């Protein structure tokens, strides 16, 4: 678990994973901080170390959880992940039938996976021995800290909806890999709630560090190698940004990451890892380009059409014969971003809300997510910094 500038979550995260380790749900938990964190006051590493000392003082069972510090400073977090891989290799590879028997899971500081995750993973590994990469479903929740409001509630709905609808359908389409349509399903991994077999990581040289968003890169490499990504139905419960400004920064960084697919194709080709045909690679490239482009354009299209409908109503008046048509168009446009709120299951939400509030929240959050495409596109075309030093949750 890479930890960077996580002082607000360090103690809570340490307690959660100490409990996971205490129950022996996994063989080892590694919390990996980085030397690039330079702050006034206690660092993430300091806070975790202190909490582990306190927890171990009252626990004689010595649960398998450890804190390590990555001294190799790089732009992205891949150095922290690869340090964890080498630690795991040194401790477990000889007892796990080599690299093909050792799995490495990745979570973020705010991840709280369901306890069923790890038993499900073991069962799926046994049932699907040829799958070398798994991604679990994610349910997004409003942070229990701070003053998160409507935007955060709406974003939790929309991100969860996307995961349980779009991602699941694309993963199902790509699972067989027996047809061109299956091999070119546009999906990847998330960077948290993902599990990679060590021999897969060895084949690609470890977690990728040639661009931002190693989670996307990892899954794309897997797909370009014509391998499937298995799906776990147990949820990783993860937080959304608490404010509109943080959401805009996060979505801009994510969308900027989505624009790195071409770089991934070039990277795979240069290393002899591209196993798709030229036509399949081009089709997959086109579909991946359509995802962020459609995200940005649909927001503008719906917002502009709604403005036109409102202006038409104002100009013609509600009593005109075309008023019913304008109202119907406006209602359809407004309902488009709030449909996910109607199907929202808020079982894990710390702040359950009414249907009307969820609908208002999704309508508030949706345009921010879509508008983030344009600054992401600008920085991509100008080849500027791919992401902030710390992407907000």
Give the mean model confidence (pLDDT) for residues 232-246. 91
pLDDT, residue 117, reads 97
8 Å CB contact between 75 and 208: no
Q: For the ranges 66-70, 99-103, 167-171, which has the lowest average pLDDT?
A: 99-103
8 Å CB contact between 208 and 214: yes
Confidence of residue 118 (pLDDT cuts 50, 70, 90): very high
Distance CA 172, CA 230 (A): 9
Confidence of residue 363 (pLDDT cuts 50, 70, 90): confident
- Per residue in 201-211, pLDDT (tens digit) is 999 999 999 98
Give the mean model confidence (pLDDT) for residues 197-203. 96
Q: For the ranges 237-241, 263-267, 368-372, which has the lowest average pLDDT?
A: 368-372
Q: What is the dihedral sign for C-alpha 129, 200, 236, 33?
A: positive
Task: Please determine, for residue 225, whether its predicted confidence score (pLDDT) is greater than 60.
Answer: yes
Domain locations in the chain as residue ranges: 1-77, 107-295+330-393
Confidence of residue 17 (pLDDT cuts 50, 70, 90): very high
- Per residue in 297-321, pLDDT (tens digit) is 888 888 888 888 788 777 766 556 6
Distance CA 43, CA 69 (A): 12
8 Å CB contact between 326 and 309: yes
CB-count burial class (<10 Å; 0-12, 13-18, 19+) for 331: exposed
Give the mean model confidence (pLDDT) for residues 82-94. 89
Give the mean model confidence (pLDDT) for residues 350-359. 74
Distance CA 286, CA 300 (A): 21
pLDDT, residue 341, reads 81
Higher-pLDDT residue of 118, 252? 118
Confidence of residue 379 (pLDDT cuts 50, 70, 90): confident
Distance CA 348, CA 382 (A): 41
């Amino acid at each position: 678990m890479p930890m960077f500038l996580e002082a607000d979550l360090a103690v809570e995260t340490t307690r959660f994973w100490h409990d996971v380790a205490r129950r022996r749900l996994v063989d080892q938990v590694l919390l990996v901080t980085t030397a690039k964190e330079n702050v006034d006051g206690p660092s993430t590493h300091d806070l975790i170390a202190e909490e582990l000392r306190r927890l171990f003082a009252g626990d004689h069972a010595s649960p398998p959880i450890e804190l390590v510090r990555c001294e190799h400073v790089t732009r992205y977090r891949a150095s922290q992940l690869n340090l964890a891989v080498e630690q795991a290799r040194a401790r477990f590879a000889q007892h796990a039938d080599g690299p093909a028997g050792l799995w490495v899971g990745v979570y973020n500081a705010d991840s709280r996976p369901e306890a069923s995750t790890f038993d499900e993973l073991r069962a799926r590994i046994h049932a699907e021995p040829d799958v070398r990469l798994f991604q679990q479903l994610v349910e997004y929740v409003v942070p229990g800290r701070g003053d998160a409001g409507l935007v955060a509630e709406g974003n939790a709905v929309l991100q969860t909806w996307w995961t349980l609808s779009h991602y699941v359908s694309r993963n199902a389409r790509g699972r067989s890999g027996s047809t061109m349509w299956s091999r070119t399903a546009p999906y990847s991994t998330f960077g948290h709630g993902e599990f990679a077999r060590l021999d897969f990581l060895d084949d690609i040289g470890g977690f990728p560090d040639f661009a931002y968003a190693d989670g996307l890169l990892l899954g794309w490499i897997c797909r370009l190698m014509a391998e499937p990504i298995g799906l776990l139905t147990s949820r990783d419960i993860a937080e959304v940004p608490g404010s509109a400004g943080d959401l805009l920064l996060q979505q801009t960084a994510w969308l900027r990451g989505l624009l790195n697919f071409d770089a991934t194709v070039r990277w795979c080709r240069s290393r002899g890892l591209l196993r798709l045909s030229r036509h399949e690679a081009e089709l997959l490239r086109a579909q991946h380009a359509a995802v962020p482009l459609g995200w940005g354009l649909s927001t503008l299209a719906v917002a502009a059409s709604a403005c036109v409908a409102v202006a038409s109503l104002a100009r013609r008046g509600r009593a005109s014969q075309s008023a019913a048509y304008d109202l119907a168009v406006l209602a359809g446009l407004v309902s488009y971003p709030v449909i996910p709120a109607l199907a929202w299951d808020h079982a894990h939400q710390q702040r359950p809300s009414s249907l009307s509030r969820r609908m208002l929240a999704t309508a508030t959050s949706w345009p921010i997510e879509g508008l983030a495409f344009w600054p992401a596109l600008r920085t991509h075309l100008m080849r500027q910094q791919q992401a902030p030093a710390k992407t907000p949750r």
